Structure 1
């Protein structure tokens, strides 16, 4: 799925694009960062903020609510990435890392931590959009898998609660499993409760009386 035309991008990077003219390395890094931002704008993205990777990042992310986070890291890509991953732990968003750090030994860890695309220096502006499209598609796919897994875990937990509640009724009322289930269903409808919620109440009440 292609990103929307006005994809709201938050860039995590040093904010200045005007380094010391005598610092050749900083000048090259600033030019790379400028090229990246041009590519984002040409891709139809809306750069809503450029923030440093500091202790205020989680709060700023919560305020701005970007659609995607671009990490424009220099040689300290790993340190910057750790800040971003921690900042998005409770509100996941697609993360794309652009870096000039040619040490790719930690790429696997970065992907495992939540980075959806990892790009080492040299990306032309016209290739930025395809990278974002792939990153967004991968993020959406992974989030779908996470939801499916969470749903499966919830269903399993609820099934266990219902089984425990059936066991309580079978012991107390001397009924069969099918009869216990039917009684649980009727009570849940009469009280307007989900079957799992009713089962939990029955379990809690039984524990108080034990």
Structure 2
């Protein structure tokens, strides 16, 4: 996705028709495709699902609570790079915009000559954020696995009178026989033990 000459599908969101046209012309001139043109009252999540843009450009005088809430919903459910232009802002709005998943937040105007570099920054930040989110999810999974494997080993040691390494070996074999990850199987075993 990165790189200066990548042609992207862009969704434009703006209440000002004149500004929207200027933005569209600048992007089309650079070879990008406009996936959709919407105003800020549109249902952004369903429009994104329908049009599948690769990048979203939003231009507003000042981002309101509703706009920021639908951006937050978007970045949870259908994450993609979002560039938000605002004519004016304040520290609280900036904080909320970043928290809502905006990749690039530009205050004080839209300069058509800067669109490509802004898009590249937004995509790079978005990709970094996604990678960090994935690493965090993996770390959480590893911690949950360790905790549950320890608990399942404890159950096997108690119920079958095994030492720790024998309990681990048995747990591992049972997981492999069922073609499951050992952490997932440990959770199945714990649940079954809770039921019994």
Could you report, residue by residue, the CA deviation over 1:18-75 in whole angstroms, capped at 9, with x for unpaired residues?
xxxxxxxxxxxx2x4433222222332211101122363221211111111111112x
Q: Aligned residue for 1:21? A: none
Of 177, 183, 196, the match for 2:164:
177
Could you report, residue by residue, the CA deviation over 1:74-131 in whole angstroms, capped at 9, with x for unpaired residues?
2x42343333333443111111011222x33322221122111111234432211001
Give secondary structure in 1 for the equivalent of 2:76. Answer: coil
Distance 2:151 2:139 in 1: 19
Q: Aligned residue for 2:94? A: 107
Q: Aligned residue for 1:77? A: 63
Distance 2:185 2:11 in 1: 45
Taking structure 1 as reference, are residues 188 and 4 closer, same or farther at Cα in structure 2, changes over 3 Å only? farther
How well do the aligned residues superpose, as a CA RMSD in angstroms? 2.0
1:1-210 map, 5 Å: 1-2=2-3, 5-14=6-15, 17=17, 30=18, 32-54=19-41, 56-74=43-61, 76-79=62-65, 80-101=67-88, 103-105=89-91, 106-209=93-196
Please, what TM-score do these two structures have when normalized by structure 2? 0.88
Rg (Cα) greater in structure: 1
Distance 2:77 2:45 in 1: 9
Give the aligned length: 193
Aligned-pair CA distance for 1:4: 6.0
Taking structure 1 as reference, are residues 60 and 207 closer, same or farther at Cα in structure 2, changes over 3 Å only? same
CA contact (8 A) 2:71 2:102 kept: no
CA contact (8 A) 2:35 2:52 kept: no
Aligned-pair CA distance for 1:3: 6.3
Unaligned runs of 5+ in 2: none
CA contact (8 A) 2:12 2:20 kept: no
Aligned-pair CA distance for 1:11: 1.0
Unaligned runs of 5+ in 1: 18-29
Give secondary structure in 2 for the equivalent of 1:118. Answer: strand
**Which portions of structure 1, spanning 4 or more consecutive aligned residues, are displaced by more than 4 angstroms?**
none
Distance 2:48 2:103 in 1: 18
CA contact (8 A) 2:172 2:182 kept: yes
